[in-house]
Structure 1
Amino acid sequence: MVGHETHYILPRPEFDRPVKVLIVVAPYYRDIADNMIDGAKAELDAAGATYEITEVPGALEVPTAVCIAERLSNFDGYVALGCVIRGETTHYETVCNDSSRALQLLGLQGLCIGNGILTVENRKQAEVRADPADQNKGGGAAAAALHLIALSRKWGGRTKGVGFKPASENILLAGNADGSTTA
């Protein structure tokens, strides 16, 4: 049984400069992935962001694709989408844990990632969570990425003010301003 508890949703952030996002999707369950993509695209469109979509074979490849894009491209943030449905083996735990852990580690390095990789017990749970008219987890992942981008822009230009800051750009180690060493 899928529950519908109400929860608070942060207001959509606004941006004064363009935002470019990469949606990385593992379309193992194509219909579920397509619904999640639709939800993510709608959220990004509503925020005025531009985006590209790339597909990878499975959920374990999503973090690697994000890492490659971060290293070789110019995206402000990432939306990770996929679906892992519990099966009869422990492979489910491996895929869920490792994909989530890798995305979290990338996030802790400063990447702005919305994690929309569903980890569910059955197909019905996945369908409800992926449906843009229902739980819209693709849209939620895009919103998370947008909020992290907004935070990184808010705090990106600041310094903590710790340590020595020279009074001017001219730093003299020894001597006078004219270059002489006489007193």
Structure 2
Amino acid sequence: MAGPSHYIMPLPAFDKPVKILIVASPYYKDISDNQIAGAKAEIEKAGGSWDIVEVPGALEIPTAIGIAERMSNFDGYVALGCVIRGETTHYDTVCNDSSRALQLLGLQGVCIGNGILTVENYDQAMVRADPAQMNKGGGAAAAALHLIALARKWGETSKGVGFTREILLAGDPGTSTT
């Protein structure tokens, strides 16, 4: 029996090009390749461009995004990797720490779609990574695109943020110089 379906938001439209960095860990290369294919297709569907960097594992993904955010000009990021439960608690550390680091970057205003799979076994990972099935790489790219659209919308607002200070110059009409 199939589970409940979920709503997928339509992709946002952009008036200026979007440039996204896909940061992928190819630890499980076939899974990573599927995730990347899904992400690329989603970004291209929205008219965006992408670049890719690879890092050794899921723990390095947030660090690479942090470096790129400080030193490059990407609008957003897609984090792609896969952590499969093993026999030790290392699984919990990698899942929790990579997720927490991405969340902290996001709370600083970095537009990130988190596509790091955390699964019990290889078969679960393949279903989630496959663009023809669950397409979690495409979903992470869509999340990044939606956050970029929000950042652009709110970044172009005409209203002030916080307090404003008017400077009155001597000699302006209505000001006093005493």
Structure 2 spans left out of the alignment, 5+ residues: none
Q: TM-score, normalised by structure 1?
A: 0.90
Q: Which residue of 2 aligns with 1:73?
A: 72
* Equivalent-residue separation in structure 2 for 1:182 and 1:14 (angstroms): 52
Residue of structure 2 in register with 1:101 after alignment: 100
Question: Kindly tell me: are residues 161 and 44 of structure 1, through their superposed partners in 2, closer, same or farther at Cα, counting changes over 3 Å?
Answer: closer
Tell me by how many angstroms 1:157 deviates. Answer: 2.3
SS in structure 1 of the partner of residue 78 of structure 2: strand
Indicate the SS of the match to 1:5.
coil
Residue matched to 1:172? 168
TM-score, normalized by length of structure 2?
Answer: 0.92
Residue 163 of structure 2 is aligned to residue 163 of structure 1? yes
State the superposition RMSD in angstroms.
Answer: 1.9
Other-structure match for 1:82 = 81
Q: Which amino acid is 1:14 matched to?
A: A
5 Å matches for 1:11-160?
A: 11-158=10-157, 159-160=159-160
Letter aligned with residue 124 of structure 1: D
Following superposition, which runs of at least 4 residues in structure 1 exceed 6 angstroms of deviation? Answer: none
Structure with max Cα Rg:
1
Identical aligned residues as a percent: 70
* Secondary structure, counterpart of 1:59 in structure 2: coil
CA apart distance, 1:176:
1.5
Ranges in structure 1 where 5+ consecutive residues have no aligned partner: none
Secondary structure at the counterpart of residue 83 of structure 2: strand
